[in-house]
Amino acid sequence: MRPPPDPIPLESIASPAVVAAALRDLSSAHLLRLRQIARMRSAGLVGVEWEDLLQEAFSRILAGTRRWPVEVPIVAFIAQLMRSLASEHHRQQAAHPFVTAEESSDPSGLPLAIADDRPGADLQMEANDFRAALVRRLEADPGALAVLLSHERGETAAETMARTRLTAHEYDAARKRFRRLVKQELERGGSS
């Protein structure tokens, strides 16, 4: 039986020098994209700020522990890497909940009360708050909501414009409002 082929051909893996050069060449716009993506992926993580997530992604790709195939745009690769790292953090935090035991004077040594500090609970609350706030704002802006639905349905811009009867100019403006709205909610709910 033949072994399964390596999904990433060895020759397409960037060397550490190539990775470092590509990162040094990242434009301001790409850095801003990555910052925003790090912000949203770190939302709800306990003790992991956006800087930590972005730094971790850069470090892993530079160290070669996550191999970058050169044919994949580096920004897309780092974005995907941050999504995967955030998922790992969420899983770890859900698997190892922090429990705070209050000190007890009971000679048995048993704590009087145990506070539920589970990150999962925080995440759910934050996710719900974030979504609720976002939905409230999107419902007040049908154009921005149309942008979200367009992505969720996998529509093209033309299909969305045909469905919503928005002109190209109106759709562009709606996209801008959608970005601004999500960014504002991330800034409000997330860490700075």
Partner 1 sequence: MSVHRDQQNLEGVLDAYEAELMATADEELLAESDEVELAAARGVLAMALAVADARQQTAAARRRRPVHRASSPVAVPAVRPRPEQMRATFSSDPTSALDDDDPGGLPD
Interface residue list for partner 1 (CB under 8 A): 16, 20, 23-24, 26-29, 31-37, 40-41, 43, 51, 54-55, 58-59, 62-63, 75-76, 79, 124, 127-128, 130-131, 134, 147-148, 150-152, 175-176, 178-180, 182-183
CA angle, residues 127, 128, 131, in degrees to nearest 5: 80
* Minimum distance from residue 3 beta carbon to partner 1 (Å): 31
By C-beta, is 104 or 187 nearer to partner 1?
A: 187
By C-beta, is 68 or 130 nearer to partner 1?
A: 130
CA dihedral 141, 143, 148, 152 (to 10 degrees): 130
By C-beta, is 151 or 163 nearer to partner 1?
A: 151
* Minimum distance from residue 91 beta carbon to partner 1 (Å): 13
CA angle, residues 131, 137, 141, in degrees to nearest 5: 130
* Minimum distance from residue 109 beta carbon to partner 1 (Å): 35
* Minimum distance from residue 83 beta carbon to partner 1 (Å): 8
CA dist list (Å): 2 to 5, 7, 8, 11: 9, 14, 17, 21
CA distance 143 to 25: 36
Q: How far apart are the first and last CA of the chain?
A: 53
By C-beta, is 9 or 73 nearer to partner 1?
A: 73
By C-beta, is 9 or 179 nearer to partner 1?
A: 179
- For 170, the token pair is 């109106």
